[in-house]
């Protein structure tokens, strides 16, 4: 497992990193997005979805728990999940994440609420505030992400 940190100047950098992550994303991938409220988890996910071609800003899945995106709206199937309101980790089975992972990439906010961070081959991204106005991303990438994470910055 490789680990590292990236400092992001603000929301625009967070979304841009998400767009770069989109270029490396494949069906079956699981990206766990951790951090306190308003740390940028949804901004990063929105950047991924925009990078996959979603024409409009993605809504937060906070109330729906999961939003499914499929071609032609995005170049590959993605399930964007927010587990903040999950009452019991056993309820995770009802969301069908393991089945969805067979043909879609998963972006999971608040993964610790369902034990998702412990799943095999998960790219773990944790965001935290970095004053003044920035964010620090701490990451852990399994071997399956070698050559894909961290994504190269545009030139």
Which residues, including other chains, have CB under 8 Å from residue 41's CB and lie 6 or more apart? Answer: 33, 34, 35, 109, 110, 127
In sequence order, which ranges of 73-143 are alpha helices (DSSP H)? 92-95, 97-100
Q: Which of 53, 50, 51 is nearest to 20 (CA)?
A: 51
Question: In this structure, is residue 150 part of a structural domain?
Answer: no
pTM, full prediction: 0.92
Rounded Cα distance between 150 and 41, Å, is: 17
Model pLDDT, residue 52: 97
With 70 as the cut, is the pLDDT of residue 154 above it?
no
| Whole-number Cα distances in Å, 151 to 20, 82, 87 | 6, 24, 34
Considering the domain boundaries, does residue 80 fall inside one? yes
Residue 125 lies in a domain: yes
Mean pLDDT of the 110-135 span: 87
What's the structural domain count of the chain?
1
Q: Does pLDDT of 28 surpass 70?
A: yes
CATH code assigned at 19:
3.40.50.300
How sure is the predictor about 34, in pLDDT bands with cuts at 50, 70 and 90? Answer: very high
């Amino acid at each position: 497992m490789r680990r590292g940190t990236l400092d992001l100047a603000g929301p625009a950098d967070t979304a841009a990193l998400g767009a770069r992550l989109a270029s490396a994303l494949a069906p079956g991938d699981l990206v766990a997005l951790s951090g306190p409220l308003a740390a940028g988890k949804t901004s990063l996910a929105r950047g991924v979805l925009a990078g996959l071609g979603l024409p409009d800003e993605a809504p937060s899945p906070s109330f729906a728990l999961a939003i499914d995106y499929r071609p032609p709206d995005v170049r590959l199937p993605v399930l964007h999940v927010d587990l903040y309101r999950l009452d019991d980790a056993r309820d995770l089975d009802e969301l069908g994440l393991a089945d969805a992972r067979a043909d879609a990439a998963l972006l999971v906010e608040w993964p610790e609420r369902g034990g998702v961070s412990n799943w095999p081959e998960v790219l773990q991204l944790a965001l935290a505030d970095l004053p003044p106005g920035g964010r620090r991303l701490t990451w852990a990438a399994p071997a399956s992400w070698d050559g894909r994470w961290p994504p190269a910055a545009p030139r």
